[in-house]
């Protein structure tokens, strides 16, 4: 992963997913000074851009589902309260809402975390977007007054089946999302990755 990301011209900011281990992430990217030391959740703020970036770690060691502890939510609330007029993008792995895909919803962000996170989000009007991954599909929802954008996978997409319990990879192309700040709105583009660029 480090070798692949090193080819990108833009800055790279990481958060762990449900198959990652925090210690291994920190060890593999020791030069990424924004990553907090220690063994706790990987949360941080990135300033210096027109939009503030706030990273939350929804990973739970040894589990595929996600959670946000009180420390992360208090930190998020304080970060947002300190800059109430600054456009902000929050990024995390697990979406905070139910997608309708049974398997993914079972291993999503736990309901208590989602409820507490939603209460923080609803208090802060400067949040332009919450962006997530985990589901391997392009999904959007308005949730607690903000658009949540779920990025498709750069590896493979899962089938869209709102009734079946299993997941199957599809022939949909890998993709990523690009977020563009146009001076007053955050515009999200979903871009297929065809391997030719």
Give the range with max mean pLDDT: 1-5, 92-96, 189-193. 92-96
- Residue 177: inside a domain: yes
Q: Find the mean pLDDT for residues 61-87.
A: 97
Phi-psi region of 180 (alpha: psi -120 to 50; beta: other; left: phi over 0): beta
pTM (whole model) above 0.85? yes
pLDDT band at 193 (very low <50, low <70, confident <90, very high): confident
Number of domain units in the chain:
1
What CATH number does the domain containing 49 carry? 3.30.750.180
CB 71 within 8 A of CB 41: yes
- Residue 51: inside a domain: yes
Residue 197 has pLDDT above 70, yes or no: no
CB 46 within 8 A of CB 13: yes
- Residue 197: inside a domain: no
Pairwise CA distance, residues 168 & 159, whole Å: 6
- Residue 125: inside a domain: yes
- Residue 179: inside a domain: yes
Q: What range defines the domain where residue 136 resides?
A: 2-192
Per-residue pLDDT tens digits for 83-118: 999 999 999 999 999 999 999 999 999 999 999 999
């Amino acid at each position: 992963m480090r070798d692949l990301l090193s080819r990108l011209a833009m800055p790279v900011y990481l958060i762990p997913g449900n198959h990652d281990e925090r210690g291994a992430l920190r060890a593999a990217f020791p030069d990424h000074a924004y990553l907090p030391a220690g063994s706790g959740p990987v949360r941080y703020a990135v300033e210096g851009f027109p939009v503030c970036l706030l990273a939350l770690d929804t990973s739970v060691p040894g589990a595929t589902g996600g959670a946000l502890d009180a420390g992360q939510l208090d930190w998020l609330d304080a970060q947002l309260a300190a800059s109430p007029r600054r456009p902000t993008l929050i990024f995390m792995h697990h979406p905070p809402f139910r997608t309708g895909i049974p398997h993914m919803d079972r291993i999503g962000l736990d309901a208590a975390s989602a409820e507490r996170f939603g209460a923080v989000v609803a208090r802060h009007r400067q949040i332009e977007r919450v962006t997530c991954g985990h589901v391997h599909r392009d999904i959007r929802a308005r949730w607690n007054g903000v658009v949540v954008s779920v990025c498709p996978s750069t590896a493979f997409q899962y089938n869209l089946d709102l009734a079946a319990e299993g997941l199957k990879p599809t022939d949909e192309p890998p993709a990523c999302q690009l977020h563009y700040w146009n001076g007053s709105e955050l515009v999200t583009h979903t871009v297929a990755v065809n391997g030719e660029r």
